[in-house]
Amino acid sequence: MTGDDPRYGAEVCRRMASLAGAGRFAPAPDIATGLAGNREQGAEVELSCRIAGGQVMEARFQAFGCPHFLAAASWLTDRLRGARREEIADWDWREAAEALEVPAAKFGRLLTLQDAVRSVVRNWPGTLGSTV
């Protein structure tokens, strides 16, 4: 995927070319997953994070959506690496919007990513359902 469409910034193009971070971890006690969105609305994502020592050791994504959404999900897997639960509890979609130069029309899609991160926080191993 090497599109040169001017509607997409360099980071989106780079992420779409590699789709780095794509995949998922099989369910296990040290895996926190976060699901959000649905295909009927055009955006669905599953984040899965391997947790050790109270922080995200590695994150992966599976996503259905537009290039901005897929690229943001890929970007998020890097952003989450090394983060502690309390650090991402209030993660805001605007950070991805800025990093990937996402146009305002697509902001709603990024809220789906934020929901997925919140879901990861809720499913953090050993703290199921608790608040930060």
Partner 1 sequence: MSDVIYLDNAATTAVDPRVVEAMLECLGPSADYANPSSVGHLPGRRARARVEQARADVAALVGADPSQVIFTSGATEADNLAILGAARFYRERGRHVVTSRTEHPAVLDACRQLEREGFEVAYLKPGPDGIVEPAQVEAALRSDTLLVSLMHVNNEIGVAQDVGAVGRLCRERGVLFHVDAAQGAGKLPLDVNRDCIDLLALTAHKVHGPKGVGALCVRREPRLGLVPMLHGGGQERGLRSGTLATHQVVGLGTALRIAAAEMQADAARIGALRERLWRGLAALPGALLNGHPSRRVPGILSVTFDGVEGVSLLYALPGFAVSSGSACATTSGEPSYVLRALGRSDRLAQSTLRLSLGRFNTEAEVERAIEAITDAVMRLRSVAPGQGG
Q: Which residues bind partner 1 (CB under 8 A)?
A: 1-5, 7-8, 16, 19, 22-26, 35, 39-40, 42, 44-46, 61-67, 70, 105
The answer to whether residues 11 and 99 touch, using CB atoms and an 8 Å cutoff, is yes
Q: How far apart are CA 56 and CA 30, in angstroms?
A: 10
Q: Where are the beta strands (DSSP E) in the chain?
A: 31-38, 43-52, 55-64
User: Which tokens sit at 69?
Assistant: 């959404």
